Amino acid sequence: MDYTTKILPFYMTYPMQNDNSLPEEDTVLRDLEYLQQMYPVHARKIQRRVVEVMDKMDYDGSLLYDEYPDKLQLYCLGDSIEKILKKEDGMEDVNSDMVQLVLYYEMYKRRQERRRCYFRF
């Protein structure tokens, strides 16, 4: 029997390291996307606008990725999103607490995605 054909390289002996994403992460992301589709209409509009603003702020050195983000800056960012919603989307009954909540959640989600990317090879 020839044993040389059955020898695996060291990096193939740990299958979880070869895969770029863990199955649990895929499940979590699918669940998250599904649940976000079930948001009420009002919350979905807020979430879309928050994502648009966060996409513009998603760069290295952004306040989104500070170790301890400044509470006042985040409040001002949420306030500006609220003004955009009132002006462009015509939403007069915008709840500022809801905007802040969606903003912080989106920020948390992006920070977690960035941390996962650093550990992938």
pLDDT given for residue 6 in this prediction = 67
Residue 27 covered by a domain: no
pLDDT given for residue 20 in this prediction = 53
Domain count, the chain: 1
Domain with 50 in it:
41-121
pLDDT given for residue 18 in this prediction = 46
pLDDT given for residue 111 in this prediction = 87
| Distance between CA atoms of residues 118 and 102, nearest Å | 25
What distance separates the 2 farthest-apart alpha carbons in the chain?
A: 78
Per-residue pLDDT of the chain (121 residues; tens, 9 = 90+): 555 566 666 666 665 544 555 556 678 778 888 888 899 999 999 999 999 999 998 888 888 888 899 999 999 999 999 999 999 888 888 999 999 999 999 999 888 887 776 554 4
CA triplet 77, 40, 100: central angle to 5 degrees? Answer: 20
pLDDT given for residue 98 in this prediction = 94
Residue 50 covered by a domain: yes
Residue 6 covered by a domain: no
pLDDT given for residue 64 in this prediction = 86
Residue 12 covered by a domain: no
Residue 10 covered by a domain: no
pTM of the model: 0.71
Q: Where are the alpha helices (DSSP H) in 2-95?
A: 15-18, 23-37, 41-57, 71-88
